[in-house]
Structures are given as structure tokens and as C-alpha cells.
Structure 1
Amino acid sequence: MKIPLQLTDSHELKDMTTHSVEVVSTSSVTADTSPVVLNQTDSLRFRFLPTLVTNEKEPQKSVSGKLVYERKPRKEHSFPTDKVSRKSIKTGEWMELQLNTSETYELFCGLKQLYELYDNMGVIPYGVATYARVDSTFRHFLSIIQNDPSAARMIGNAENFDLVKTLLRLITQTESLESLKKSLMELQDENLQHLTTTLNIEKLQRVATLMEENLDNNSEEFWQTTVFKENQWVLAQVFACPCTIFSDKAYVGGKGVDNSGGNLCDFIYQNRLSQNVALIEIKTPCTDIIGSSYRGTYSFSHELSGAVNQVLNYRDNLTKSYYTLCHQNASQFEVLSPKCVVVIGKLESMDSTQIAAFENFRNSLNNVQILTFDELYQRVVDLIAVLSEDSTISHIDQYEDESEDLPF
């Protein structure tokens, strides 16, 4: 399997491994390949430098090369450049390169791999290429899935899920990810779409489970680092535009002349298209939202009031310090009436009257959006439901298209 690379004037070939071989063309009929390391220490290097050859007269004889034995003092960083070759041997002199059993075996394995490579390659490629070994069982498995839809449906049966898990574990443990990428390219579009959707749903489900199991976790560090920083798409569900983390624990200005009073915002998200930013303040699901009752309604906790004022203060400082911060930051960003978001508490901790008071309060705010942790969790669950529904519809459509081939 070939992965083409861009040709450079001097490409240093990596040593051959059992899983990959680099090939650099030197003419239309020859190519240098990765060296076969026979023995190597800090002061010694013994290698076979192979060349693939298109030998029209004797095609089976497709490999030539050089045995290179190098020694250097331990204090030297590089091996010597002075070369002694058999051409330098004078009449009456002779030269010996003895191979021990380990070196002979490494040479045998390298030559075997090169001959197999040339047989599969067919022609000398132009430029630089890396050939990666693909397990024959894996290739056969992909061929079955691609050419036999009934086999794919059989593997998708719930009774065979343990087999699927084992196969996926073996496939993703390969040392050559390029082999996996190339193999996936051989799948039909519908198969690849089903696989991609299933993997995305599984990733979403793991994060949803993590959030659900920690809705009583009162650690801000856990939510900021383990959940939101490692899965930045979760907070992106707050916005109706494509956003990603611009910075976490970001300085937004506010220092005085004595270098005190600086403000650090939990997260700054950025619209990938407009470059505008949004400020996000993270509390915990256990943070109180409701305060004491007040004449038929409720006041709000000092934590909520403080968080709202805090993120508004970040917004004010960032707006005032924009030109200074923009000059200091290599990344480009805009501060255009930036959106402010506070993630705090849970709706399930409140009764209907308290929820009504909370809704009236947050809907009256113009510059701050307040979202609870269980609402954010529900957005992830809804996203899973949408993807799952799309996957089911796609599967039904494919089933109907194949109905003419069924025996009933």
C-alpha cells in the first residue's frame, strides 16, 4: 500500500521496519529504499542499503544494494564520511565483512520484505513514497463488507457486537495508521457513512454519560478541564454558529499600574468565520441559583449574581483592552459586542415556581445568556437523537433500494 509524499532534493530515508518501507526513485527503473539495519550501537552501524531495480531480463532479480559498516569514536556525534570500498582494494589485498547469525537473519528478513514489496508494487513510483503493510485478514474482511451487504448486516446484528468490538480493537492497534486510512478509502460511501455516524454517536454518548454521572460533582476544575476543555464541542452547542475554544483561563485585562487586579476568564470561544469572541464563565451543577423567597417570587443566589457581574466585568475589560491585547496576541480575534455565557446549577434542583422566576430573570438579560448544566447535557442528548434518527433513516432507504434483490 503506497502513501505518496512530496519529492525533495535530499530525502533522508528512514530505517526499514516490519510495517513500512520508504522508496525514493532515482530513475525510471531504479529506486533507493529504507536501509535494513543489521546491527547498531552508539559506536557501530552495520546496514544494507537496498536499491529496487526493474530488471526486464530477469524480473525475479529485482534488488541490489550495498553493505555499509561504519565505526566512530564514542565522543563523535556523526559517523565518518571516508569510504573504503572493494574498488579501493589493491591487487593482492582482500576485504572481509563477516555477518553473525543475528545480522544474517535481519538481512534475510529485509530482502524478503523487499522482494515482496516489488512484486506488489509492479513499477517504480516517481518521487517519494511510503509503503505500509496491511494485514491480509483485515484486507479480506474489508473485501467481504464491501462486496456483500448481507455480511455487513450480519455483523451489525446485536448478537455479534462482541465480534465487532474485537475487530475494531485489532484494527485500531495497527502501528501504521496510514494503512487503516487507505483501507477505509476502499469502503463504499454508504458503508463509510454508517461507520462514521456510529463512531460519532459513540463519542457523543461517552461524553453524555460522563456529564450525567457527574451532575452532582461540585469541582469547577473537573468541569472546566475534564469535560469542557477536552470536549470543546460541548460548549459550542450554546452557539448557533461554528465556534471553537480560542483560549482557556484567558487574561482579559483589568490590571492596574501596580500590575494587580488582572482578570482571567474560564473560556473564550471564537466564531471561526467572523473571528468574534464570546466569554464563558463556568460554575458547577451544585451551585445554587435561587436565593430566598421575596413577595411571591424569588431572589437569586449571590453565586449567580456574582457570576453574571463577573462575566460582564470580563466583557468590559476585554473591550477596553482590546487593542493592547490584540497587539500582544499572535492570533487574530475581534471584540464586537461579545456574547457572555454563564453555565451554572441545575433546573432539576428547583420547583416550578422557582423555574418560572429563573426564566423571567434570564430572559430579561440582554448581554448574558445563562444555561444550566442539565440543559447543556440535554442538548448533547438531543444531538445524539438527531444523529441516531438520521442513521436509521439512511439505513431504511438503503434497505428499500435493495428490496428487488431479496427473495421475498
Structure 2
Amino acid sequence: MREIQTKSTSRVTAQATDIVLRQTDSIRLIFRPTIIDNVKNKEAALKGIFLYQKKSKKAAWEDFETIPLSSVKGGEGYKLEIKTAELLQLFQELTQLYELHQKEGVPRGQKRYVQATPQLEQLASLSDSDIHSFSNANVAVGTSLLSKLLVWATSLDDPSPLIERLVEINPDSLSKLNAALGMQSLKNALASWEENECISDEEFWQESLTKHSFVLEQVFSWPTSIVKGKAYVGGKNVFNQDGNIVDFLLRNRLTQSAALVEIKTPMAPLLGAKYRQTYNVSTELSGSIMQVLNYKHSLQEDFQSLTGRSGDLFDSLNPQCAVIVGNAGSELDDPAKKKAFELYRHQFPGLTVVTFDELFDKTRQLISLLESEPRVEVESDDMPF
């Protein structure tokens, strides 16, 4: 089957792609079919016209003024020969249009139809139980097929027919699928951390936390969403210099309150040299804290000019701040180091310092919680006394 395109011409008609029966550089014979909603005879769902066109080799095919049959005089007539191969082609393609009408009725708007391969037609004809049995027996094949179907679904220009089918699915099944997708996203984020925790490229972690935004949203105890990564928060002078770019601008989804997040890398040191019975903090840690506090000050000062007419996007009354830096598990290997780090990071009201391994451990704990079996309380008739 060739590709068929249809376009509505009225509430009850749709014109289909021309069927080219004969063509050279200068002439062609086509049949232009129209699908109709025939209330008198549902099976008689097609009508059309033959067009014999002639043009110069470099010109485009154009419709032309025709001579009406009513102008034929006595002793005159029209003769149009259809060759055997052309007649067979016309029969086959009109049969496909009749089948299309039988399945779809008169298509609305603009649609495109492409014939499925025999293998795909066979797959579509399988029952739910057949597909279930086949996929269980061939997990790798089923997974590959599902992946390709999802890629196709996300590339659709008009997903409405697919949405209509999804609505017909049992709500419990959709809930299970949604839960499974969420769980897999959590596991993918955790696997990414475990494979790349030694990477010292800040841009990599910027992209990773953007991709796994739900991990970043666990920094704060309230529901957040990313407004923008690499967000400009003011600070430029009259020479258009010294602009402040924070790694992530977030907001509270309920109150619209802004939050600023500055990231370093898991390889950035948390502590510096030992000082008597304790330790200094590293330049990376102290510098990133001062940096995000400066961004907060800049955002509050320039809030009106930054938001303009989008003042409802977020609120800057008291932006919360966070710094994601270092790896506590690999660096804080004795009690004195842990004490120095904890004493320092809790000295800044409205600012959270969290290490990368702490952040991703929250994801690990969430996975564990979701996968744990629910406790079943067993009633007992035994009295405590």
C-alpha cells in the first residue's frame, strides 16, 4: 500500500491522495478519489474523477479547466482507454480506500496512513494473552519492541488517537506502569551516581542533576521544581560585566518561594589542613557558600528588573540556598573531620550544605522504602494481662 493522505473537504467528505495510473515527463493520468459518508448506501463510500494532464517538462502538474460532458454534441463523445495494469492498480488502491473507510469512517482533518508490514499486522492481531505469553518467553525481544514503540509514540505529531487508546486501559494498569517508570528513574539516577562518583567535571553534574531533577529536589524539605539551570540572577554593571549565574534556580511549588543551588563536584575537598585539634574547611566549600550567598543578595536586589512582567514566576522574599559539594563517605574518615564539617555547615541560617553521597543516599533510601513489603498487622486475641 502506498502512503495515503486524506484531508477533510466537508463534514461528510475527505479527499484522498491522487492515484497516478500513467505518467511520463509531460503527461499523466490520475484518479482523484473522495471518501464520503453515504447515508443511503454505507458501502458506496467512494467517488472520484479521472484527470488527464499535460505539461511542459519543467512545469509543475496543475489542475485545468475541463469541458463539461453536457457540451458534447450529437455524433461526438469522449473515449478514455484504461490499460489492464492501470485498471488492476486502480482496483487495488480503491479496495484499500474502501477498507480504510470501513475501519476509520471519513477521516477528520489531515491524516496520513501507511500500510503495516505483514509482521506488524500479525503482531497487531495477537490477543492480550498471546502477547503476554510471548513477552514472558522472550523478555529481550519484548523489551526492544516496547522501546521502539515508545520512541514512535513520543515522535507523533498528533498523539490524540494514542491518548484515546490509553484512556481505555484499566486505571490500575496505568498506575502500575507509572509506578514502575518512577522506580526505574530512581534506579537509573542511583546507578549513574555509582558509576560516575569520581568524575570531577562540574558540567557533567550540572547535566546529570538536570536530567534527574527529582534527586535535586530532595535537597529541601518542601516540594520544589527547577525554574532554570544556569540562571542569571543579576549583578551586571554598566559595562555589562560581572553577571551572576547560579547553577540552579528552584522554587517552592506551593508558595513560589525561590531557592538557589550551587554545585561543585564529588571530588571537591570539604576540609583543608589540620588546625590544632580541628580542621579548616576547604577553599571550595567556603568559596561556594559565599558565592551562593552573593547570588541570593543579587537576586533580592535585582528581583524587579529580572522578573519584569513575569513577577508571578517565583518570589524572592527570603530565598533559601544550598551547596552540593564533595563526598563525605570518602573524605570524612575520622571523628575529628566529621565534627569539623558538621560544626561548620550548620552555622548558616537559610543555607543547606549537602554532599553528593548524602544526596544520592536519599534516593537509595527512597528506593528501599518503595520496594519494601508493607507490614501486615496480625490481630491477636492474647491479652497483655
Q: TM-score, normalised by structure 2?
A: 0.76
Q: Which of residues 186, 198, 219 in structure 2 aligns to 1:238?
A: 219
SS of residue matched to 2:320: strand
Give CA-to-partner distance per residue, 1:307-358, whole Å, 9 cap, x none.
0000100110111011111227688332121111111111112214222322
- What amino acid is the match of 1:220? E
Contact (CA 8 Å) 1:197, 1:387: kept in 2 or not? no
Provide the rounded CA distance (Å) in 2 between the counterparts of 1:43 and 1:273: 68
C-alpha change, 1:137 and 1:181, in structure 2 (3 Å) is farther
1:193 aligns with 2:159: no
In structure 2, what is the equivalent of residue 114 of structure 1?
97
Gaps of 5+ in 1: 1-15, 146-150, 397-408
Instruction: Check 1:119–1:257 CA distance in 2 against 1; reply closer, same or farther (3 A cut).
Output: closer
Structure 1 residue 144 and structure 2 residue 122: aligned?
no
Tell me the residue number matched to 1:400: none
Matched-pair contact (CA < 8 Å) for 1:212–1:377: no
1:304 and 2:288 are equivalent in the alignment: no
Alignment of 1:252-291 (within 5 A): 252-291=233-272
**Counterpart code for 1:279:** L
Deviation at 1:173, TM superposition (A): 5.7
Larger Rg: 2
- Counterpart of 2:361 in structure 1 is 378
Aligned to 2:150: 172
Aligned equivalents of 1:334, 1:34: Cα separation in 2: 54
Map 1:80-159 onto structure 2 (within 5 A): 83-84=65-66, 86-87=68-69, 90-91=72-73, 92=76, 94=78, 105=89, 110-121=93-104, 128=109, 136-141=121-126, 143-144=128-129
Correspondence for 2:381? none
Q: Distance in 2 between matches of 1:210 and 1:43?
A: 61
State the one-letter code of the partner of 2:202: E
Which residue number in structure 2 is paired with residue 54 of structure 1? 38
Q: 1:250: Cα distance to partner?
A: 1.8
8 Å Cα contact 2:262/2:324 also seen in 1:
yes
Alignment-derived partner of residue 402 in structure 1: none
For 1:72 and 1:380, locate their aligned partners in 2 and report how far apart those are by CA, in whole Å. 68
Which amino acid counterpart does residue 364 of structure 1 have in structure 2?
Q
Return the alpha-carbon distance in structure 1 between the equivalents of residues 279 and 54 of structure 2. 83
SS at match of 2:248: strand
- For residue 17 of structure 2, what is the amino acid of its counterpart? P
Q: 1:87 to 1:364 in 2, by over 3 A?
A: farther
**Matching residue of 1:210:** 192
Structure 1 letter corresponding to 2:177: L
TM-score, length-scaled by structure 1 = 0.72
Is residue 35–residue 47 contact of structure 1 (8 Å, CA) maintained in 2? no
Q: What SS class does the counterpart of residue 241 from structure 2 fall into?
A: coil
Match of 1:24 in 2: 8
Distance 1:386 1:373, change over 3 A: same
Cα deviation, residue 249, structure 1: 1.8
Q: Kindly tell me the number of residue pairs found equivalent between the two proteins.
A: 361
CA contact (8 A) 2:6 2:17 kept: no
